[in-house]
Structure 1
Amino acid sequence: MHCDHWGSGMSEGQQSKRGQVSETKVQAASVERTTKLGQLRGIERLGVESYLGVRYAQPVKRFEPSAPAVSWNGIYDATTHKAMAVQAPVREDIFGRLPNAGFAEDCLFLNIHVPQSPASTPRPVIVFIHGGSHMAGAANFYDGTALAKGADAVVVCINYRLGIFGAVDKRRFGTPSEGSGELWLDDQISALRWVRGNIADYGGNPDLVTIIGESAGAVSVIALCATPAAKGLVHRAVACSPGNLIFDPPPDVVGVAAKVRKCSRAEAITYLQSASSDELFALQKRKGKAVTPAEAVGTPLLPECIEDLIANRGKDAVPLIAGFATNEGESLDYIIKLETKLPWPLLNLVQHIAARMMARLPANGTPNVPGYLKRLKKATGNRGFGSIFNDLVWTDVFRRASMEYTEATTAAGSRGYLYVIDVPTRIANGLLRSSHCVDLPLTFNIWDDPQHTVPAFAEHPNAPALARQWVAMLGHFIRTGEPGNSLGCWPVYEPTRRASMRVTGDGCGLEYDVDAKYREQIWNEPKK
């Protein structure tokens, strides 16, 4: 439940109720570009060309892998956003406004942002993968204009299938895993293949592609660094609040549908293939995580544990920056409160259940949860219930993954870098300690774009300057595989010193072996 967005109920084709982006707009000029797939028209703003809603795949068929996009006739209109994946609506008081666009199963589009300034060589490419628990979110949430300009890179933001539509793979029908799938990851690989074959037409270097993701998008980043299917498509990676990918069995969506409809598995498969998007979304809403994509290993795309898959790459493992916020759970609890509006005793219980569900990630599997929670309570002196407990679990979800995957990258012979971000976070009207989503406005440098689409989650007088430092760091990393000195000297994360960069609005600096008690006292359940 790597949650950026919570909500309920959205029909196929419904238009977003969230209105248009900022009313104080910089006039956008029309631009055109000729590519190998055809000519397209986009817009220019702040010295950056944007091509919105470009297909990276043909109209997708339900539960089937995508097919590569084909050329078009005439001029493709890339001046407005196209449909997003079927999902619940998002509260604009929490996550800001979206451009007006619909929701549909045909959603495999991407947005491209290209600096207009001359470049002597092809620019490095940043591919951003949105979060949202694999349940919500879209490329349309994130305007890459300021990031493209600040990092001097071609920025690509991608859609991929969400929820039940990304959780089932038709190719598995009739097999023991017929109720599961990884089309969410398959779509991302398809988008990267499109970038490989087409980004040169936008001035990008297909041999210098960096993937950046937040929350569920960060889990995707880790998966893409590990899966053999993406080898050669990714050259650098940044994972902001990733979670562990574990051996828990994937959900059996066919079994869930059969149980709900009181029918056979064969009848459930027929229903899943023929039902409307509305009906499938209602099934997903009713059963929750039982029909959403699994972030798991031991699957066709991720056949081994992540550390082993990274180790198999050796020195060719993708250089990785990963990190977490000091109090990830505060915003996640707060969003649950805003979304559900439940009375306090019931709200406390729901928040507790959500945290315990997520404990399977830092515990490295559901069977290990009781022992993990016992050690967590003992090491922290917590009674195991309440907001402090929730924050301990949620933060550990992202802490363990960040530390272990950066260490695995370094151990493989490549370079892994760890950060801990400590910047106050504002969600709606609540000012919290540094929490989930706080790195998003830094990455998209919203203070240099008056029409930014990411809310100002990071609340600090020095946040604008920190965002420019952060983007400068990204600009160095996407070119060299090292973060450079924009935030200060930043060595790799390895077992001898375990150096990490603490990112704050009052200055950044190195720490060593941060939160050691978690590794030494809490994560000691043997791995499978």
Structure 2
Amino acid sequence: MKKLFLALGVCLMGSWAAQAQITLSKDVAVVPTESGQVRGYVHGGIYTYKGIPYAEANRFEAPHKPKAWTNVRSSLTYGPVAPLMNPTTQVQDESEFVFDHSWGYTNEDCMRVNVWTPGIKDGKKRPVMFWIHGGGFTAGSAEELKSYDGENLAKKGDVVVVSINHRLNILGYLDLSAYGEKYKYSANNSVMDMKAALEWVKANISQFGGDPNNVTIFGQSGGGAKVNTLMAMPSAKGLFHKAINQSGAFRGTMLEKSTTQAITAEVLKALNIPAEKVDSLQKLPFATLANAGNKALQTVAAQMKAAGKPVVGFGLSWGPSIDSELLPYQLFSDEAMKLSKDVPLMIGTVKNEFMPSLMTNMSNASAEEVEAYIKKTYGDKAEAFKAAVKKAYPADTKPSDLMDVDTRFRPGAVVQANMKSALNAAPVFMYLFTWQSPVMDGKYKSMHCFELPFCFNNIARCENMTGGGKEAYVLADKVSQAWINFARVGNPNHKGLPTWPAYNASATPTMHLDNACVVKPQLDKELFELTAN
């Protein structure tokens, strides 16, 4: 019996050893970069590097290459995230369970890059998938959601996944250009950071087994808006070759110089700082600066409304602005579209995005309660609204489905797809993610961010969001493969999906990503016309 237990123990130990997932040693996963050598680790066969500096900068100044280091730099954990204007100090228990954020730690020196790759020093040229996080232009980070982890995507597709942190909010967009040459680009320093990260990829990614001549930028929400911004940036042309915009076409208009300079004037006024002492802004505590920035945004927004001027997006906030050199064109202008006409684009949204039923505690509302909400919201257009929703989604049965169809994010995606496809240059592929999460009895439906675990093939990491069921794994296999194929050759088609035609404004073929994936024409045109204003 003793021999039997001993043999069983040896067998189990051998089995556990065979399943060992991580290799970490001073001589393993060491890669040279322009600034010095970095050491990562190997997990599940994927070489992983986190927190590598790609640039540095003084506050409000343009980024430049980081100082070189002589020793091998340990690169095992995520680097700092950009400070937040409104730090998170409390959360809603239920929704936090679903999203399961990782907030990280803040530091203004936050320009860091993370890399996941199947191989180093092997002579391969793998497609590079360059991820830009969401959070508008004011919040978020490369580690904020578990879905952002690049290991599974790198392993599944034999691709190199890259993600970045960069300056945000007032640190990335305060326009001090009128106050000295060193602040020349301060209104768009955040965009300059992203460009610097792409330049880092161009110079270094071959050392990580990646192809600098096959880079796909992709991002969701604010990250998708950043994708659009880079596509409209002349000096970023050639640093990437394909683009994926996920729920990020909601903001088509950048701020004008008159607005950004008015915001800056209000910041200085709130801080009682005269123009000749503007450099003192570089030494203020961030919280003091943030408070002044919040007040300035509110003041200028009120002034604009009083003057009858439109306030872009969801309200006046920090973000990219028109600059004659860096960003000379509005994002949806003919000039911007032509600048990126040869860049294949995949673009889409999720069915429910920001759901009114969640905001109003009406997830399980009765048909009568939903009817009253729609009538109050749409007035004499209520019946037409209901008819348009039912035409777009005839299979919906839950009363709150009538009020939860997105009309805020997808219209911009359709406009962008129509404009880009009309150039008859690089192809456009449109998707609509309609899969409904079973979590919390289906309360969260296909909400903003819910496609992310599927794109990254991260169902297991995101069970709180996806439920972790078999259907989720099956769909994630299809979705992640589409993203991989698009990054590889500019076309998302693969044998696991029905044929996915390139988009055009007349046939409007749109891939509905669900348990049963199917291509449909645009069915919500009347809905968007009805809710346009």
Deviation string, structure 1 residues 256-286 (Cα, Å, up to 9, x no partner): 324434x365278355333112322333456
Within 5 Å, give how 1:437-516 maps onto structure 2.
437-447=449-459, 452=461, 456-457=465-466, 461-485=470-494, 486-504=496-514, 506-516=515-525
Take 2:273 and 2:328, find their aligned partners in 1: how far apart are those partners? 30
Shift of 1:118: 9.4
Correspondence for 2:116 among 113, 117, 128: 113
Q: Percent identity?
A: 29
Correspondence 1:29 to 2:28: no
Secondary structure of 2:52's counterpart equals: strand
Correspondence for 1:147 among 153, 160, 169: 153
Identify which range, 223-232 or 45-54, moves more after superposition. Answer: 223-232
Which residue does 1:82 correspond to in 2? 79
Deviation string, structure 1 residues 28-87 (Cα, Å, up to 9, x no partner): 5343323143222111111101111001103x2111110023432011110122211112
Which residue does 1:234 correspond to in 2? 240
Listed as ranges, the gaps of 5+ residues in structure 2 are 1-19, 302-315, 362-376, 388-399
C-alpha contact 1:439 1:458 (8 A) present in aligned 2: no
Which residue does 2:192 correspond to in 1? 186
- RMSD (Å) for aligned C-alpha atoms: 3.6
Secondary structure of 1:294's counterpart equals: coil
Correspondence for 1:414 among 426, 434, 444: 426
Which residue does 2:102 correspond to in 1? 98
Residue 259 to residue 377, structure 1, CA distance change in 2 (3 Å): farther
Within 5 Å, give how 1:373-412 maps onto structure 2.
380=385, 395-412=406-423
Within 5 Å, give how 1:293-442 maps onto structure 2.
293-295=318-320, 300-307=325-332, 308-313=334-339, 315-316=341-342, 318-330=343-355, 334=358, 380=385, 395-412=406-423, 413-425=425-437, 431-442=443-454
1:187 aligned partner, one-letter code:
D
Correspondence 1:52 to 2:50: yes
Take 1:41 and 1:267, find their aligned partners in 2: how far apart are those partners? 45
Take 1:215 and 1:260, find their aligned partners in 2: how far apart are those partners? 31
Take 2:357 and 2:192, find their aligned partners in 1: how far apart are those partners? 31
Shift of 1:519: 5.4
1:468 aligned partner, one-letter code:
D
Correspondence 1:163 to 2:169: yes
Identify which range, 481-490 or 49-58, moves more after superposition. Answer: 481-490
Take 1:428 and 1:103, find their aligned partners in 2: how far apart are those partners? 32
C-alpha contact 1:247 1:298 (8 A) present in aligned 2: no
Residue 132 to residue 73, structure 1, CA distance change in 2 (3 Å): same
Deviation string, structure 1 residues 137-182 (Cα, Å, up to 9, x no partner): 111233211111112111001011111111114434369x999712
Listed as ranges, the gaps of 5+ residues in structure 1 are 1-24, 338-355, 357-372
Deviation string, structure 1 residues 286-337 (Cα, Å, up to 9, x no partner): 6667784225557643322323134423752x1111111111121x874899
Shift of 1:196: 0.9
Take 1:81 and 1:170, find their aligned partners in 2: how far apart are those partners? 30
Shift of 1:520: 4.8
Residue 157 to residue 29, structure 1, CA distance change in 2 (3 Å): same
C-alpha contact 2:187 2:320 (8 A) present in aligned 1: no
Take 1:398 and 1:375, find their aligned partners in 2: how far apart are those partners? 24
Correspondence 1:280 to 2:278: no
Correspondence 1:245 to 2:258: no
Identify which range, 297-306 or 131-140, moves more after superposition. Answer: 297-306
Take 1:137 and 1:428, find their aligned partners in 2: how far apart are those partners? 25
Shift of 1:460: 6.0
Which residue does 1:221 correspond to in 2? 227
2:29 aligned partner, one-letter code:
E
C-alpha contact 2:47 2:119 (8 A) present in aligned 1: yes
C-alpha contact 1:196 1:233 (8 A) present in aligned 2: yes
Correspondence for 1:123 among 122, 126, 135: 126
Shift of 1:492: 1.4
Take 1:376 and 1:309, find their aligned partners in 2: how far apart are those partners? 37
1:64 aligned partner, one-letter code:
E
Take 1:168 and 1:288, find their aligned partners in 2: how far apart are those partners? 11
1:408 aligned partner, one-letter code:
M
Secondary structure of 1:54's counterpart equals: strand
C-alpha contact 1:424 1:459 (8 A) present in aligned 2: no
Secondary structure of 2:108's counterpart equals: coil
Greater RCO (CA < 8 Å, at least 6 residues apart)? 1
